[in-house]
Amino acid sequence: MDYLYEESTVFIILFFVAFFASLIDSIAGGGGLLTTPSMLLLGISPLNVLATNKFQSCFGTFTSTYNYYKNGLLTEKRRVLYFVLSFVGSSVGTLLVSRISNETLESVIPILLIAAAIFFITNKGPSGVKQNDKLLIIFNLLVFAIGFYDGFFGPGTGSFFVLSFIIIKGINIMEATAVTKLLNFSSNFAAFLIFAIQGYVIWLLGLTMAVAQIAGAYTGSRFAIKNGEKVVRPVLVIVSLLLSARILFG
């Protein structure tokens, strides 16, 4: 792999980037906002960036999921079903990544993320939506769709999962964040497997960043668990707006 700088320099830079990205991601998602452009700026080719980023992200999302589970926040009863739906959706999205244009998404997604930010600012608690079979089927399709989206594009996946669980399932932000980390892990792992089979993962770099991901995810999720919604809500707003700005102007 040809880097713009010495390999050791690239590894050190991306180690610290991965730590801060994982710390933020464990609270509100959006870690790719830091890792993806950083890797591209250091001279790594796009497909290698996507593959290696998914690989190292698996370690962060798994660590966050475990922390939330250990602290009793991963309470969603249908989490296994949603895990599978996110996994399958991401697999399909990753397989189709080279066949679908991102232009439409790049114009629509910022609008959705800004709407999500407004929702997190104005919403004061669970929606209280009455559950029924039709709504649950729609929600299953939505989980699949968000997983699919993460497989070939990605920015804002965490925000969309959290928003969906709060509005449709009617759970609080902390529980929504916990199950979102599980589904993020599922979609990341699915994409990683496909990229790995295709030979795009830079293993040594990915493992180096994975160490930082674990440390950042542990720190961030512990901080979120300790401080609760008063921390998670504003971070979700900030991340949603920053992701919008990056897509619009990046």
Average pLDDT over residues 3-28: 89
Residue 67: its pLDDT value, please?
96
Q: Is 44 left (phi over 0), alpha (psi -120 to 50) or beta?
A: beta
More confident position, 241 or 102: 241
Shortest CA distance to 32 belongs to which of 188, 144, 225, 146? Answer: 188
100: pLDDT strictly greater than 60 = no
**Percentage of residues of the chain with pLDDT beyond 90:** 48
217 near 120, Cβ under 8 Å? no
Average pLDDT over the chain, rounded to whole? 85
Q: pLDDT tens-digit profile of 39-98?
A: 888 988 888 888 999 999 999 999 999 999 999 999 999 999 999 999 999 999 998 875
Structure token pair of residue 111? 């609008």
The DSSP annotation for the chain comes to ---SS-HHHHHHHHHHHHHHHHHHHHHHS-THHHHHHHHHHTT--HHHHHHHHHHHHHHHHHHHHHHHHHTT----TTHHHHHHHHHHHHHHHHHTTTTS-SHHHHHHHHHHHHHHHHHHHH--S---PPP-HHHHHHHHHHHHHHHHHHHHT-TTHHHHHHHHIIIII---HHHHHHHHHHHHHHHHHHHHHHHHHHT---HHHHHHHHHHHHHHHHHHHHHHHHHTHHHHHHHHHHHHHHHHHHHHH-
User: In the chain, where are the structural domains located?
Assistant: 7-249
Structure token pair of residue 85? 């739906």
Residue 135: its pLDDT value, please?
83
Give 169's DSSP letter.
I
Residue ranges in 123-156 assigned as alpha helix (H) = 133-152
106: pLDDT strictly greater than 60 = no
